[in-house]
Chains A and B, each alone.
Chain A
């Protein structure tokens, strides 16, 4: 997994709550057996006018000023619905490194940490402030620092965010979860022995 320490990038605002994983990647793209190449399907139904990938000019990601955005700003309950990891694969493959929202669906949040980008939780007031700042300072850049758990801009913003230590360590180091758990294989074996699992 790609490690994440600090990222400076352009913010694209998506002023919605409850963005579900069916919107992030619609069902017709879940039939693939690969893990790569999902970026072009991200937000398919909102992003394109038809199946030939003709862009919807109204959609945020298609607007010229947001073409190079790497930080996605949204509202609450981001990633609700289906557990499909195709959604995080699409977010990472599109090139997003950070999502900022006031809350996330549990499964999506968990899946994000396997894919090298950082979902940051901020309060509803902080998110509202970021939407206002984006409108005021466009093109708006943020710096997200996982080492120090800080979000800053060039206009005096300085926020701290919470994240649990284990997830932070994995992301900072780009660790592979399975390998990490297998370091404790003796504990797994001991559990299995105690429970008669062979």
Chain B
């Protein structure tokens, strides 16, 4: 193919961004050196990367293209006191020291902007359509919601980006998942993505950059789009993305670290060209109908194991494949559930509202709308953990914190919290939690703890009733 026809061949959004970030491809090599515009760092996956730099006598190539925040380890109470866990404290302090040494922008623990990295980065305007972004965190796909290649890496690659501002990459295959029609009332972005993961399985997206498209996706807010891309990794896809449009530009305009004024307007004109060309060919195309999607609840120990709230816990024998049957059987044992039990009869000990999946203002509005005028059921402990200090402040300015605390929720400081339970927020063995987070793996919320993934509205309704209910029938006050 000559360069002229290559330039005119229809391209996917992934191809366009990939091509514009190609630094070098050695002849005959199937991996390339790809430029990385932005690196995000948190305290857990960065210390060994900075140490690696020091040991090699290197420095970050572009410290102005790196931002950092402490989120995974941090307590969500008593922020005026030093962190009680000495190992967590050391990790938080290590990030602070590394940022200071290398001149990296840190949103520090008690800054109002601090929060979960995938909430803070877009909120502060570090995320630009058409760019490339990495972070030592699998939920980095979140940022693809703005129309960019955003992907999680390990710590060695955090160091690689720090040192070179590039990554060695092999081009992924492309997949487009189109959701036609509109989601029904009470059905959210979270239900949509849990449905898609269930259909594709935990590995269905492995090796692919996935573009989400269709009317149901276009109708989502940026918060909803981030929820969808955030969980792309739960079906194995490192990259999830959505073409930028007016919803995207509206969200980005005026963010502190975003281009401003004329520069922003000019950039918007460029960003409008990012969408996949009409005739672009994807390696795989999958189409769903939004009308088939209902509120979802996971019953097992991976995010693909979900059913509609109106269903029952499935029979392991109902799965076609022997591996799936085996996994389902093990999951039911761990979850202490019997096949055939209606989902609405599953009783809960905890409700967790927050995380990089559902810790944004829209999520707290949805939950507060359900909770207004109700109390959390006796025997249920419920915590609301805003995704950032900015989300917290916004929620408080709308009086949402009052709705949560009046209902009996604990209103916490921002952080990853119970989603991975690195801080003191965790389940005891055998406890069962409805969580708005992204993983229901064994022990994820604490050894022996059991997690059911749901939307914020479903979690709030479950907190009131003490068991799952179909939020579509909720009586709002």
Residues of chain A whose beta carbon lies under 8 Å from any beta carbon of chain B: 16-18, 20, 22-23, 26-28, 30-35, 45, 75-77, 80-85, 88, 103-107, 110-111, 114-115, 164-167, 177-182, 184-185, 187-188, 191-192, 195, 197
User: What 6 A-B pairs have minimum CB-CB distances, sorted nearest first?
Assistant: A85-B154, A111-B154, A114-B156, A33-B47, A187-B24, A83-B138
B164 touches A80 (CB 8 A): no
Given A32-B87, A45-B442, A81-B439 in contact, is the A177-B160 Cβ separation under 8 Å?
yes
- A residues less than 8 Å from B182 (CB atoms): none
- Bin chain B's interface residue count: 35 or more
A98→B442 CA distance, assembly (Å): 25
Q: How many whole Å from A167's CB to the nearest CB in chain B?
A: 8
Closest chain A residue to B140, Cβ basis:
A83
* Other-chain residue from A23, A34, A165, A179 in contact with B29 (beta carbon distance below 8 A): A165
A181 touches B164 (CB 8 A): yes
A111→B326 CA distance, assembly (Å): 28
A75 touches B206 (CB 8 A): no
* Other-chain residue from B23, B30, B140, B323 in contact with A76 (beta carbon distance below 8 A): B323
- A residues less than 8 Å from B153 (CB atoms): 83, 107, 110-111
A186→B23 CA distance, assembly (Å): 10
A188→B87 CA distance, assembly (Å): 38
A88→B136 CA distance, assembly (Å): 14
B203 touches A77 (CB 8 A): yes
Given A83-B136, A85-B156, A182-B164 in contact, is the A45-B447 Cβ separation under 8 Å?
yes
22 contacts between A and B (CB under 8 A): A18-B302, A20-B302, A26-B443, A27-B420, A31-B44, A31-B87, A31-B90, A33-B47, A77-B203, A77-B206, A83-B137, A83-B138, A83-B140, A105-B206, A107-B233, A107-B238, A166-B31, A178-B52, A185-B164, A187-B23, A188-B24, A192-B35
A187→B24 CA distance, assembly (Å): 7
Q: How many whole Å from A156's CB to the nearest CB in chain B?
A: 27
Q: How many whole Å from B449's CB to the nearest CB in chain A?
A: 11
- B residues less than 8 Å from A185 (CB atoms): 164
- B residues less than 8 Å from A105 (CB atoms): 203, 206, 236
Closest chain B residue to A17, Cβ basis:
B323
A33 touches B163 (CB 8 A): no
A80 touches B154 (CB 8 A): no
A16→B443 CA distance, assembly (Å): 17
Given A105-B203, A178-B56 in contact, is the A83-B45 Cβ separation under 8 Å?
yes
Q: How many whole Å from A43's CB to the nearest CB in chain B?
A: 11
B439 touches A110 (CB 8 A): no
Closest chain B residue to A169, Cβ basis:
B29
B447 touches A84 (CB 8 A): no
B138 touches A107 (CB 8 A): yes
Given A77-B203, A82-B138 in contact, is the A178-B443 Cβ separation under 8 Å?
no
A45→B301 CA distance, assembly (Å): 15
A181 touches B160 (CB 8 A): yes
- A residues less than 8 Å from B333 (CB atoms): none
- A residues less than 8 Å from B439 (CB atoms): 20, 22, 81-82
* Given A31-B44, A187-B23: 10 more A-B contacts, CB < 8 Å: A18-B203, A31-B85, A33-B47, A80-B202, A81-B439, A85-B155, A103-B206, A180-B168, A181-B160, A188-B166
A34→B51 CA distance, assembly (Å): 9
A31 touches B73 (CB 8 A): yes
A106 touches B48 (CB 8 A): no
Q: How many whole Å from B356's CB to the nearest CB in chain A?
A: 12
A110→B31 CA distance, assembly (Å): 12
A34→B49 CA distance, assembly (Å): 10
A45 touches B443 (CB 8 A): yes
- B residues less than 8 Å from A83 (CB atoms): 45, 136-138, 140, 152-154
A31 touches B422 (CB 8 A): yes
Q: How many whole Å from B89's CB to the nearest CB in chain A?
A: 9
Q: B363 near A: Cβ within 8 Å?
A: no
Q: B338 near A: Cβ within 8 Å?
A: no
A110 touches B33 (CB 8 A): no
Q: B444 near A: Cβ within 8 Å?
A: yes
A103 touches B154 (CB 8 A): no
* Other-chain residue from A28, A88, A181, A197 in contact with B168 (beta carbon distance below 8 A): A181
* Other-chain residue from B30, B33, B166, B441 in contact with A164 (beta carbon distance below 8 A): B30
B45 touches A106 (CB 8 A): no
A102→B5 CA distance, assembly (Å): 38
A164 touches B302 (CB 8 A): no
A30→B94 CA distance, assembly (Å): 14
- A residues less than 8 Å from B44 (CB atoms): 30-31, 84
B203 touches A184 (CB 8 A): no
- B residues less than 8 Å from A23 (CB atoms): 441-443
Q: B421 near A: Cβ within 8 Å?
A: yes
- B residues less than 8 Å from A167 (CB atoms): 31
A92→B140 CA distance, assembly (Å): 25
- B residues less than 8 Å from A166 (CB atoms): 29-31, 168
Closest chain A residue to B169, Cβ basis:
A110
- A residues less than 8 Å from B79 (CB atoms): none
A77→B321 CA distance, assembly (Å): 15
Q: B159 near A: Cβ within 8 Å?
A: yes
- A residues less than 8 Å from B472 (CB atoms): none
Q: B170 near A: Cβ within 8 Å?
A: yes
B47 touches A18 (CB 8 A): no
Q: B181 near A: Cβ within 8 Å?
A: no
A188→B24 CA distance, assembly (Å): 8
Query: Most A CB atoms within 10 A — which of B29, B165, B206, B439?
Result: B206
A33 touches B91 (CB 8 A): yes
- A residues less than 8 Å from B72 (CB atoms): 30
B443 touches A188 (CB 8 A): no
A179→B420 CA distance, assembly (Å): 34
B31 touches A164 (CB 8 A): yes
Q: How many whole Å from B400's CB to the nearest CB in chain A?
A: 29
Closest chain B residue to A164, Cβ basis:
B30
Given A31-B73, A45-B442 in contact, is the A178-B422 Cβ separation under 8 Å?
no
- B residues less than 8 Å from A32 (CB atoms): 87, 91
- B residues less than 8 Å from A184 (CB atoms): 23-24, 33
- A residues less than 8 Å from B23 (CB atoms): 184, 187-188, 191
